[in-house]
Chain A
């Protein structure tokens, strides 16, 4: 531990000042130049109380401790309101892990390289869309605003590349929990996203689709009632436009178009996930508005240390606890993130959306979602989406990409609807029924497009 040169609240005071003046991240030093200079250690940018949980809590909580209802008061200021209640009232326990000061472990390798390569080239055009200001064309990969200062910049960093791979295919096993804590539903689904622009690879625009941002589809493989239900959502690059939604529903045996603004509905019974919830930025960013950074603050975030590839062959997290029947929460490791932008936004493009406001905690180092809470139209707190992001490493086992670097992706997601008491536990697994496997790079993206991202594809994947 370094010798503390500043008083205990120095860091938090400085963060609040930055909000007032709209400055970039970092307290002791600007964060982004620090990352550019030494991405493997960004601790120089922050005082101790923003790096060390022990300092932050005046010794009450240390790495390796569990946060329980007995000591949650010491970290209440590091939690979103729902996480706090989960620990205080619902028996949730959180293991505190060591802080990650090596930023290279918080990105996919190629994405960080693109962010470094393209730093300074991102800008908003007159329509509010992100462009490469050197060409005026669509974004060219990585975070367009690595030193984000506004809510729009932070949200753009997430929206333009959700999974931070040019192509991602997630095998997802979802366990939904009833309000009484009992298991309710289990779904297997396969989520595919393919960026056509804002890409990190050698091909800057996929199949010359400059007007599109991505193609995304989800199809269910189990259980029987939902198996074969599939949805295709092509996203326009213009973030003012609603994506089309096409669905293949088992009962109709054919593709039907759905209204583009129905993004606040569960896809299947019992699940608390809406399309709008994806990465906290599930809708085109300009269909939301009134973005503002309301705070900058440290936050407890599940990052590395949550992947279960060593202990479970299918990467599933079966360690549960809490809730009425001890099944509501997956065991989670969290760490102190020194600086998060707390960004609020309102669904200005959806007058009838049930959501009145969303609050995103966005990691200042990576611009990745670190916490997400929604409020209903009455201003009552509604849902929490808590995604764990990190490298696919557990102990001496890792799942590496073709360059030999550990793959980075999301690991699991808790989505709790506190008004209904329902919880969805999404596991990013190795494989789901049907042999669909998670992957983040493919030999031929065109094959993925043809196989998963066209209307013919979702019809083929549908119920027979």
Chain B
């Protein structure tokens, strides 16, 4: 019989000779040939929405600042007593409710101003505006490959757009440009100068630092994967933009050290069972995988160092207090020229496995400290203290006439700004929220910057009252102070070991086919953000130990097995976000009992950074229950910070048709579930992120 010869391409000398398409083979992802290579592509379009159910904006944002609308008394401290006493001089602001005359009229937000402007009541003039939506994006992804036998080119294109508005409450810095010292930002204008920069990634000195990404305020276009692959027997080499995922633990990144995370889109609040599929940052580089024996595989990589990308200020999931300007030194320090590399060996021995890894990398999290603002803006002369300070700087410190304290502030980490901090209470609350030392931070802003001392900044030791007085003095004089901080990156070695075991018990029992994996890493001399943001970063050894137990168990004959996961993580020095544990547990200071965080104790003698001892401990409990044929999947996942916080996510996935997927999930965050003080756990940072999520996907 005649042998069938179905030729995909004709032997034409026309264009079809090099580019031919055979629709007969199309379907379900489609396939055809280009230049003799087999092409495949598939993709999806997805609408992703999150409805805010917490009723408040993220507390790190301007509109979510708990001080907004709260009248708070301020009394400027006396620098000549080390700020231990006030400059109020006992002058009343009113008599019998009738305001007394003042040397200068009250500035926006100020009431109860005394005659000489050294005490008042500040009501932050930026309103509290609560969003209805946390997230609404339209996403398009296209995966593509073209292969010529053992050589192929593979790519994944991601396009994300968010029009803004539509239930957001977008802060616009320009609306506060005419108050006080205005709002000259000092950072990348797109991030700090106007409305939120949802997707833009720019660092100081470079607008688009990533080779495979272009992003802006409302869009992001990137290639999470774009590489050439060559396979020769048991060796595979990939060259190009790619990500590397190591380790058996889900959510807990112990051995998953190769790449940072891109937190811009949905922070860590996406569908839990998708882990970091969308957020693991890729990087250009070379990866070589070698299946050395049937059981031993060796995986190595060398990639350009790319940092974890944080959310921008005033975006819905922002976690960095928006009264601060972050200067990312990735480009200026030449971080883009650095290379991370590592090797992992893994061996499967029946029911056992072991793995060992080593990574030499620049820690993608980086470390943060105070930095000079370089913003030469005088204190506003619209208040007595500001005018007095400016005059002092001009007369005593030699500032050019008209520049007041601008030259000194430019050499300090502070900048007069209407979008800055306004009260001591706000300062302490912002510091404790982000696990920093409100007292030490103030001292370092003075000690590490001689210019701060020139304008009468002083180290007040561990005296919260003096700190409050000093802070209020500068806040009153500046009519708002922005802090300037910088993020720098440091090299480290991560050494890891892991082992796994699959149990064999009574068939069908809970103890049969239980998959257990343990992983541990040791990182000597990891560089951390000091809790006082001091110039000298903190170096500490870090130990991470994680346990994961996975089990598929059929509880019902009529529906598929339930997938259950238990995980535990212990970290000796830092938390999941890389913040030092010694910065945990602060209480807030207020001279008048103002409680900006209902879940944090407040007093005039608060415990500041008592830290938590014995390390940070986290537990994950998750379960997935599909229905018959996996049309519906019910799942639930809980991340528990044993110091008192819970992130709980019940979820439903529905596949009504092959090309349609509907996801609904709810993020419930409780940053004060137990243990008294919300600052003792990490979840408090996400406290305002309760939300109902819906995703509608069409795939092709």
B-binding residues in A (CB < 8 A): 173, 176, 183-188, 209, 221-225, 227-228, 244, 250-254, 256-262, 264-266, 268-272, 309, 312-314, 349-354, 376-378, 393, 396-400, 406, 417, 420, 422, 430-435, 446-447, 450-451, 454-457, 459-460, 463-464
Contact = CB atoms under 8 A, between A and B. Distances in A.
A377 B557 CA distance: 7
Given A183-B658, A185-B658, A460-B236, A223 B42 contact: yes
B233 interface: yes
Contacts of A264: 554, 560-561
Given A186-B658, A252-B250, A354 B233 contact: no
Given A272-B629, A450-B233, A464 B658 contact: no
Nearest to B148: A435
A429 to B, nearest CB: 9
Nearest to A222: B29
Contact of B29 (A188, A253, A376, A450): A188
B143 A354 contact: no
A376 B557 contact: yes
Contact of B3 (A209, A398, A433, A446): A398
25 contacts: A173-B27, A185-B655, A186-B27, A186-B658, A188-B29, A221-B40, A227-B143, A251-B273, A253-B245, A254-B245, A254-B247, A256-B248, A259-B502, A261-B507, A264-B560, A350-B507, A350-B508, A417-B629, A433-B25, A433-B40, A434-B145, A457-B291, A459-B289, A460-B236, A464-B154
Interface in B333-356: 346, 348, 350, 353
A250 B553 CA distance: 22
Interface string B276-319: 01001000000001110010010000000000000000000000
Interface string B631-664: 1000000000000000000000001011101000
Contacts of B657: 183-185
A252 B24 contact: no
Nearest to A353: B554
B29 A266 contact: no
A86 B233 CA distance: 47
B297 A456 contact: yes
A222 B40 contact: yes
Most buried by B among A186, A252, A396: A252
A352 B508 contact: yes
Given A450-B233, A450-B234, A451-B231, A223 B225 contact: no
B267 interface: no
B156 interface: yes
Contacts of A266: 560, 629-630
Nearest to A267: B630
Contacts of B630: 266, 268-270
Interface of B: 1-4, 6, 22, 24-31, 33, 37-40, 42-44, 141, 143, 145, 147, 154-156, 224-225, 227, 229, 231, 233-234, 236, 242-243, 245-248, 250, 273-275, 277, 280, 289-291, 294, 297, 346, 348, 350, 353, 500, 502, 507-508, 512-513, 515, 551-554, 557-558, 560-561, 626, 628-631, 655, 657-659, 661, 697, 699-700
Nearest to B141: A224
A265 B560 contact: yes
Contacts of A254: 245-247
Contacts of A253: 243, 245, 277, 280
A221 B29 contact: yes
A430 B243 contact: no
Contacts of A433: 25-31, 40, 42
Contacts of B290: 456
A192 to B, nearest CB: 15
A460 B554 CA distance: 31
A460 B500 contact: no
B666 to A, nearest CB: 19
Contacts, number: 224
A456 B275 CA distance: 21
B500 A455 contact: no
Given A188-B28, A406-B1, 18 more contacts: A188-B27, A224-B44, A251-B274, A251-B277, A253-B280, A264-B561, A272-B629, A352-B508, A352-B554, A376-B558, A378-B557, A420-B629, A422-B629, A430-B25, A433-B40, A434-B29, A434-B38, A454-B291
Complex A-B, nearest 8 residue pairs according to Cβ-Cβ distance, in ascending order:
A435-B38, A222-B29, A351-B508, A185-B658, A433-B31, A259-B513, A464-B225, A269-B630
A408 B512 CA distance: 40
B4 A257 contact: no
Given A251-B273, A350-B507, A431-B31, A260 B554 contact: no
Nearest to B292: A456
A260 B40 contact: no
B496 to A, nearest CB: 14
A354 B558 contact: yes
A435 to B, nearest CB: 2
A176 B656 CA distance: 12
Contact of B661 (A225, A256, A262, A451): A225
Contacts of B1: 393, 396-398, 400, 406
A260 B550 CA distance: 13
A23 B585 CA distance: 81
Contacts of A259: 502, 513, 515, 551-552
A271 B558 contact: no
Contacts of B508: 261, 350-352
A117 B291 CA distance: 37
A454 to B, nearest CB: 5
A376 B28 CA distance: 32
B658 A314 contact: no
B4 A398 contact: yes
Nearest to A435: B38
Contacts of B557: 352, 354, 376-378
Contacts of A455: 291, 297, 346, 348
Contacts of B350: 244
Most buried by B among A224, A447, A451, A459: A224
A133 B90 CA distance: 108
B460 to A, nearest CB: 50
B111 to A, nearest CB: 54
A398 B554 CA distance: 46
A224 B29 contact: yes
Nearest to B289: A456
Contacts of B631: 269-270
